[in-house]
Structure 1
Amino acid sequence: MIHPHITDALKIPDLVRLTDETILLRFESMKVYSALAAVGHLLERGTVRPGQTLVDSSSGIYAYALALACHRYGMRCHIVASTTVDATTLAQLEILGATVEQVRPSQNLKLDQELRVRRVREILAERPDCHWMRQYHDEVHYLGYHEVADRIAAAFPSAGLTVVGGVGSGASTGGLVERLRAADPSVRLVGVQPFGSVTFGSQDHHDPEAIIAGIGSSIVFDNVRHHLYDTVHWLDFTHAMSGAVALLREHAVFAGLSTGAGYLAATYEARRHPDRTHLVIGADTGNRYVERVFARHAEALDPTALKPAEIRAPEEMTMPWSRMSWRRASCPDRRKGRAA
């Protein structure tokens, strides 16, 4: 097949068998699906017009995805970037035609996210013709994952399926599982979170090395539909790094830190539920984590010796790894810290 644009090739994930019970859904850059579908839908509805500037904040892979979607559809792109965005990503964004500004360095992810949201608001006030994509809150970002879910359903027509992935904005895991459960309500969802994220109640725990900005948040995300999740894992940086290094060492898969965290969680879930197929979402490659993660591979822990603390409520949470049966409960009342 000859693709009309690079995004059509990049968006398609590969299914890679890791063990009898564990499959990797490997993306080059997962949010390309989301950004393409969202921009295409907004253009079709007339919400935005060709050539208009689309703006959003990002910690990395959404910025790249939005820049690609804008390139595909002839839109302008402005990114308010996190301090965690690496030089390689920044260079690609600029060459793709996006204008990029990074907020000043912050001591923690909470301040980093607040600064980014504040700057987006300032841009909208200065340039009202811009359209804010609101990846954290606009449900249009769920649309792109429906196609992925249909591919998964076709590949696993009768398996007891458990999806394992970083929660982040909620759109990827939520979009996949909502679509899958429309045909099979027994599909389970395991969400992965870093410590320090308000989304599932770990905001009082501080991980000094936390750089997994894409799977947690210090502000409330409306796109997270808590009632979709059966189980939640919270992991610190060292455990996520150990999962990423183990994935490369054992399966030759070079993937990002959130994939490493998901792999570690899925390995544990597969030991508890060997009768189910565990599908790990691999959101991106490991390229932007070379210096901060893979260069430190000698520090990685033996994953076979690791296991989480089993807790019954977020108040019982303990570092470095906790697991809780969420049981598709509704959203906790954590409106403090909301950002529009």
Structure 2
Amino acid sequence: MERHPLQTQPLVAQRVSDLIGGTPLLELLTTRFGTRVLLKLEQFNPMGTAKIRMARQMLDEAEAQGRLKPGGWVIESTSGNTGMGLALLAAERGYRFTAVVDHHACKDKLRAMRAFGAELLYVNEAPGDGLATSDREALAQRIAAEQGAYWTEQHNNPANANGYRAVARELMDTLGPCMTHLMGAVGTGGSLFGTARELKPLLPSLRVIGVEPVGSIAFGGPGAPYHQSGTGTPEGAEIGSLVDFSLLDEGLKVSDAQAFNTARYLARRHAVLVGGSAGGVLYQALRRAEAAPPHSTIVVLVCDGGEKYLDTVFDDDWMRAHELLDPSVDEELDAMFEQLAPGRVKA
């Protein structure tokens, strides 16, 4: 397929999945000390999410191994982004797809899966019920065992991490050896650790920093409910095998208020619309930029955009109802930007 030498995507695509990859880097700021914070904007993938990369890889490897036959049935427990990717790919390849979900998932993600013909199975009854990761996975596993569906099992599937090898190649092609920090949200662990595994042999001094919600248990501490979607390991759920602590230099936590108010701040002040969990990583990245050695390059994996969260994170009434509006986060971010790059604070 013909490609421009500077592009990873075809000039004329034959399938929607041909458009996966080649996502841009955006410089959020360069500090007065020469440190850059760069955003790998994965919302430029189809479905606005990085997870379509690993969804494709999981299906590719299952087909190559003979575990998924033409016309087969795919099932996955998902909070939304993986499910959207699998739903698109199932429609493209002619598979039946069942998504096991809970009411913690964003409504627009659920609607998108249905639009592609996916079947949704809920593990809890009422819209007010929350995150139920372990229940979702138990149901997906049981259906796969009893009815012969192929369970992609994203939390423990090596293909998940393999799907992000291309992210590492794209970063190396653009930035070369100047990367000093790689930061990302940790849910299944695929995006951060799959990228880091490819980069570490090339950049041994690269510092890999994971971010999870307060209330998630992967980095220790007590479990508690949280609203950040598609990230973290809730209490009672198993930490997936893709969370590779041998590659992790530092694990940080971020509250829902810090994550969501950062996402809102970046939209209003810098015209960057990112998802709630990405807001949490960016909050910690800006704090890291304050302490980083001069001329560092901090790459933040922004795994999805904010369009799916207009009725939650970016809705004042929803934020107020969940007691998450916190003007002090805006004040803190203003102070960070003024300290890091005087004159960059926008009214």
Coarse TM-score class (shorter-chain normalised): 0.7 to 0.9
Which of 85, 93, 102 lines up with 2:105 in the alignment?
Answer: 85
- The aligned residue for residue 342 of structure 2 is none
Which of 144, 149, 152 lines up with 1:124 in the alignment?
Answer: 144
Which of 208, 230, 233 lines up with 1:214 in the alignment?
Answer: 230
Please give the per-residue CA displacement for 1:72-109, whole angstroms capped at 9, x wherever unaligned: 33222111012122332222212212111122147553
Conserved? CA contact 1:15–1:25, under 8 Å: yes
Aligned: 1:24 with 2:50: no
Q: Secondary structure at the match of 1:232?
A: strand
Conserved? CA contact 2:96–2:118, under 8 Å: yes
Conserved? CA contact 1:264–1:303, under 8 Å: no
Which of 314, 327, 331 lines up with 1:301 in the alignment?
Answer: 327
Compared CA separation, residues 233 and 286, structure 1 to 2 (3 A): same
Conserved? CA contact 1:247–1:263, under 8 Å: no
Matches of residues 130-279 of structure 1 in structure 2 within 5 Å?
130-202=149-221, 204-207=222-225, 210-218=226-234, 219=237, 220-273=239-292, 274-279=294-299
Instruction: State the identity as a percent.
Output: 25
Distance, in Å, in 2 between the alignment partners of 1:81 and 1:205 is 21
TM-score (norm 2): 0.82
The CA deviation at 1:242 is 1.5
Compared CA separation, residues 75 and 3, structure 1 to 2 (3 A): same
Distance, in Å, in 2 between the alignment partners of 1:151 and 1:121 is 34
Which runs of 5 or more residues in structure 1 are unaligned? 308-340
Matches of residues 58-73 of structure 1 in structure 2 within 5 Å?
58-73=78-93
Distance, in Å, in 1 between the alignment partners of 2:271 and 2:306 is 12
Conserved? CA contact 2:22–2:170, under 8 Å: no
Compared CA separation, residues 37 and 125, structure 1 to 2 (3 A): closer
Conserved? CA contact 1:191–1:229, under 8 Å: yes
In structure 1, give the amino acid aligned to 2:327.
L
CA RMSD of aligned residues (A): 1.9
The CA deviation at 1:7 is 2.5
- The aligned residue for residue 323 of structure 1 is none
Compared CA separation, residues 12 and 41, structure 1 to 2 (3 A): same
TM-score (norm 1): 0.83
Conserved? CA contact 2:219–2:252, under 8 Å: no
Conserved? CA contact 1:241–1:300, under 8 Å: no
Which of 288, 292, 311 lines up with 1:291 in the alignment?
Answer: 311
Please give the per-residue CA displacement for 1:223-270, whole angstroms capped at 9, x wherever unaligned: 111121111211111000111012212321111001100110100111
In structure 2, give the amino acid aligned to 1:264.
Y
Distance, in Å, in 2 between the alignment partners of 1:107 and 1:75 is 30
- The aligned residue for residue 320 of structure 1 is none
Aligned: 1:281 with 2:291: no
In structure 2, give the amino acid aligned to 1:68.
L
Aligned: 1:113 with 2:128: no
In structure 1, give the amino acid aligned to 2:229.
A
Q: Secondary structure at the match of 1:254?
A: coil
The CA deviation at 1:305 is 4.8
Which runs of 5 or more residues in structure 2 are unaligned? 1-10, 31-35, 44-48, 334-347
Number of equivalenced pairs: 301
Distance, in Å, in 2 between the alignment partners of 1:303 and 1:237 is 11
Compared CA separation, residues 11 and 80, structure 1 to 2 (3 A): farther
Conserved? CA contact 2:179–2:299, under 8 Å: no
